[in-house]
Structure 1
Amino acid sequence: MILRHPIERVITTMNIYKKISADGWQPQQLTIKDVKFATWLAFFAWVFAVYDFILFGTLLPEIGDHFGWDEIEQAKLATWVAAGGAVVALTVGPIVDRLGRRLGIVFTVTGAAISSLLTAIGGAWGKGVLVGIRSIAGLGFAEQTVNATYLTEMYAAINDPILNRHKGFIYSLVQGGWPVGALVASGLSALLMPIIGWQGSFIFAAVPSFIIALLALKLKETPQFQIHQHIRRLTEAGQPEKARQVAKDYHFEYADHQRTGLSAIFRGTSLRTTLVLGGALMINWFAIQIFGVLGTTVITKVHDVSFESSLWVLVLSNLVGYCGYLAHGWLGDRFGRRNIIALGWMLGGLSLATMLYGPADFSLIVILYSAGLFFLIGPYSAALFFFSESFPTAIRATAGAFIIAMGPIGAIIASMGATSILSSGGNWQTAALLFGAIPCFISGVIMLFAHHVAPQSVK
């Protein structure tokens, strides 16, 4: 996953994290092998978290048919699942800022595996139980926050000049696990559904996540978190002067490590960043819910495409979506992540609106839907890295989790809006425009109000 040219180089001895502090303490040292392993594992962890997340939306029409739930009941179920997932995802950040990035990956991937396994039997216990089970999948959704926090710090700790110029592109390979996971969910659904049914598909999805969780135990903690943890321990032990000296030795702001928890992301310069990024993501997730999670429903209802054909539309469009991740990661390194994210989401909104109201030609649907996903999900390779770069170490995971948790809230609003339109006699074409394509464009405009972050300033 990590390119051989940028980072398989001798690391400079000037790296601040190799320093021994005045009290004789030193963080655990990283090697190139550690960073490569972390990058590969983060990629696969995200792929299989997305696999479970998208699998539910992809198979929702089949689950509904199995239990006799109509379209409105399915939309309501998706709304409650999104609400539960948002609450669960919000808890991840403070846990990761307290226990560490390594354990955060283990925790979130295990949660995704358990959710997938239980989904196979949860529907038989009623919609309420199924909502609770699928809410646990919010841990898998939050895995991207842990990845972004972990790799932002790992890449900064290695502090390689060439890697510093390409880290956005390298991270795009990891965050590209979204379209890969969606592709796996769509492709395997098409292949496995006739053989093992939807229940078997969820059981099958749990296995790789359990394997990834075990492998994650071999990860090393980031030096930044180790320093933060050491400062906190010294402070709690009644040795604030030693804690201040450690912060000074590693060029950290001591005050930043005293302002932790959810309230800290609404203070000082972090306030504007939290509101702008959280607002943009929430609005953008209107489109994610409509065109990503419920993509098969939109395509089948708007253009009368069969369920099987809609799965292959998702397969093809997600292949293009992965290219969008790489493109936006590469462009973000060169023209600024904020600007590339904003432009991408605006173009995504235009592409998806055109798909909704264009001719019902299968080839044209594939082209426009693919372009829409290219610009809708592609910018997330730059967005997740940008979110982590925008906050200090002490609240990096908490802030990231809060911002990411705004996504499911946006999904809830979009689902409620779509349900309202359908209940009042409207159709999916109107619902997808008002609660999908237009919000996608608006989210890009909101991103322009975020602070610019110089990558070299990130610790």
Structure 2
Amino acid sequence: MSGSDQDGFTPTGTIASAGDRRRVVFATVVGTTVEWYDFFIYAFAAATVFATLFFQPMGEDFAQIVSFFTVGVSFLFRPLGAFLAGHFGDKIGRRPMLVLTLLLMGAATTLVGLLPTHAVIGVWAPILLIFLRIVQGISAGGEWGGAVLMAVEHAPKKKRGVFGASPQIGVPIGLLLASMMLALMAQIAPGDAFLAWGWRVPFLLSFVLILVGYWVRRSVEESPVFTEIAERKEEARMPIVQLFRRHALLVIVAALVFAGNNAVGYMTTGGYVQRYATDPKGPIVLDTAPVFWVVALSGVTWLVFTWLGGWLSDRIGRRNTYILGWILQLVGVFLLFPMVNVGTVWSLAVALVVLTIGLGFTYGPQAALYSELFPASIRFSGVSISYAIGAILGGAFSPLIAQAIFQNTGSTTGITWYLAGMTLVGLAATLLLRDRSGIPLGPDFEAEQEKSPIYGLSKA
């Protein structure tokens, strides 16, 4: 079946109506929101309570570093999730992987909320905590690729950026919900009560959210691109092997694009700013609840500018939108700690709101950019693995690195230069890529998709 609808969408395999596409957008937003709500409440708890509850025998300062390390260790297992989900996503479809990753994340998060502390079961407490964080990492590694492909491969050609922004905005919505829940619990159960039981409630709430996400994701149709590949029996036999044989350099460049965004984003999503602003022994000491509400506010602005980034990329191209985003992100990086160090809730709010403007413009177009970089038969593997490697190089240990820099220098200046350097890495990687906005995504156009988008190369 061929032809184009009024939006410029060329169907491949199955025709998605406007209603079907809206259902896909809703499913990717809801599912990604649930996944990242789970991921963020762990990061926030690691910044505020896990050092005391699970790692206290290591000493206060080292316990906090180890607590941040457990945030990062999950990133080391994202590539495993990306490899598994990419392989089976290119073999059996996008939708089954979306459902499975959602269930894995929800189960791990709920069990964290039930986990006894070190005071109750000793060394088994941190061991089990780290194991559940690893499960979260495997799930997160497989989640993103499936969500963005379901959105982008259903999208009209001229609206891939804004459709692809739908799973992207699930991340700031997850940040918003996680921050609000923790802020609420910090008010309901302040002080020792929050340490005793208040922190568990947001984890246990995940069980309810997971049921909603599961129901929504089961209701969507498979990606039309994969449907056509399956009907032709053209699934890649070993998609991971083919990806690295033909496109290894492209994977690295794409990963560096995300690393530049992720390192900076994890100053808030990884919990570092929250810890820095509330540490009783730090240079500024703000109450926990207002800080979480400020982070929730930054989740709103991040959401808005992520959507705008996707929308703008449909008009001026992915590459140009990214370049604008990197400039704005660099401004936010240099303002971040000088504003935070003013020591008021309002200055913290200004710092995080300004930062999320650039973060949105370097995150909103990512789904469409990545989807247009890789051939249809190995696309799930390509986008998932690039994303997972970028997360390791960028956000995995940025809170830990920031904590180590501050403990060794007593200043945030080194943190600022570290974040600025990562932003410039993302900019440099973006400049290496040609803009492929609007390239056909279906399996009929693999020859065109195989042409390297890296300047100076005819093949990846």
What TM-score comes out, normalization by structure 1 length? 0.81
CA distance in 1: counterparts of 2:348 and 2:399, whole angstroms: 23
Superposed CA deviations along residues 398-454 of structure 1, whole A, max 9, x for unmatched, are 00110111133123343553354356x334724532443431243123211112103
2:127 is aligned to: 128
SS in 2 for 1:391: coil
AA matched with 1:353: F
AA matched with 2:265: I
CA distance in 2: counterparts of 1:350 and 1:446, whole angstroms: 19
Query: 1:46 and 2:24 equivalent?
Result: no
AA matched with 1:290: M
Relative to structure 1, the CA distance from residue 312 to residue 224 in structure 2 (aligned partners, 3 Å threshold; closer, same or farther) is same
Relative to structure 1, the CA distance from residue 453 to residue 94 in structure 2 (aligned partners, 3 Å threshold; closer, same or farther) is same
Relative to structure 1, the CA distance from residue 85 to residue 392 in structure 2 (aligned partners, 3 Å threshold; closer, same or farther) is closer
CA distance in 2: counterparts of 1:146 and 1:75, whole angstroms: 28
Superposed CA deviations along residues 95-139 of structure 1, whole A, max 9, x for unmatched, are 211120111211111111112111113463322221110122221
Query: 1:403 and 2:386 equivalent?
Result: yes
Q: Which runs of 5+ in 1 are unaligned?
A: 1-9, 19-26, 156-162, 234-256
Paired residue total: 410
1:236 is aligned to: none
Query: 1:389 and 2:372 equivalent?
Result: yes
- The 8 Å contact of residues 298 and 432 in structure 1, kept in 2 or not, is answered as no
AA matched with 2:163: I
Give percent identity, aligned residues only: 19
- The 8 Å contact of residues 82 and 381 in structure 2, kept in 1 or not, is answered as no
1:414 is aligned to: 398
- The 5 A counterparts of 1:279-290 are 279-290=256-267
Q: CA RMSD in A?
A: 2.7
2:51 is aligned to: 64
1:158 is aligned to: none
The match for 2:325 among 344, 360, 385 is 344
Shift of 1:213: 1.4
2:89 is aligned to: 96
Shift of 1:280: 2.3
1:147 is aligned to: 147
Q: Which runs of 5+ in 2 are unaligned?
A: 57-62, 118-123, 190-196, 443-460
CA distance in 2: counterparts of 1:420 and 1:99, whole angstroms: 43
CA distance in 1: counterparts of 2:430 and 2:161, whole angstroms: 18
CA distance in 2: counterparts of 1:303 and 1:318, whole angstroms: 22
AA matched with 1:450: L
- The 5 A counterparts of 1:201-212 are 201-212=202-213
Shift of 1:53: 0.9
Shift of 1:297: 1.7
Shift of 1:54: 1.0
Superposed CA deviations along residues 279-325 of structure 1, whole A, max 9, x for unmatched, are 22234322233332123123334643332221122011111111111
The match for 1:276 among 242, 253, 263 is 253
Query: 1:368 and 2:324 equivalent?
Result: no
CA distance in 2: counterparts of 1:129 and 1:85, whole angstroms: 18
Greater Cα shift, 257-266 or 291-300:
257-266
What TM-score comes out, normalization by structure 2 length? 0.81
- The 8 Å contact of residues 346 and 445 in structure 1, kept in 2 or not, is answered as no
The match for 1:35 among 7, 21, 44 is 21
Shift of 1:33: 2.7
CA distance in 1: counterparts of 2:174 and 2:69, whole angstroms: 25
The match for 1:169 among 162, 181, 190 is 162
CA distance in 1: counterparts of 2:232 and 2:373, whole angstroms: 22
2:218 is aligned to: 217
Relative to structure 1, the CA distance from residue 343 to residue 441 in structure 2 (aligned partners, 3 Å threshold; closer, same or farther) is farther
- The 5 A counterparts of 1:323-362 are 323-358=304-339, 360=342, 361-362=344-345
- The 8 Å contact of residues 348 and 374 in structure 1, kept in 2 or not, is answered as yes
Shift of 1:383: 0.8
AA matched with 2:132: I
Relative to structure 1, the CA distance from residue 302 to residue 39 in structure 2 (aligned partners, 3 Å threshold; closer, same or farther) is farther
AA matched with 1:65: T
- The 8 Å contact of residues 277 and 387 in structure 1, kept in 2 or not, is answered as yes
- The 8 Å contact of residues 264 and 333 in structure 2, kept in 1 or not, is answered as no
AA matched with 2:383: G
- The 8 Å contact of residues 145 and 400 in structure 1, kept in 2 or not, is answered as yes
1:298 is aligned to: 276
SS in 2 for 1:232: coil
AA matched with 2:51: G
AA matched with 1:352: V
AA matched with 2:387: I
Superposed CA deviations along residues 332-372 of structure 1, whole A, max 9, x for unmatched, are 11111122123313321321222212450432331222111
- The 8 Å contact of residues 329 and 379 in structure 1, kept in 2 or not, is answered as no
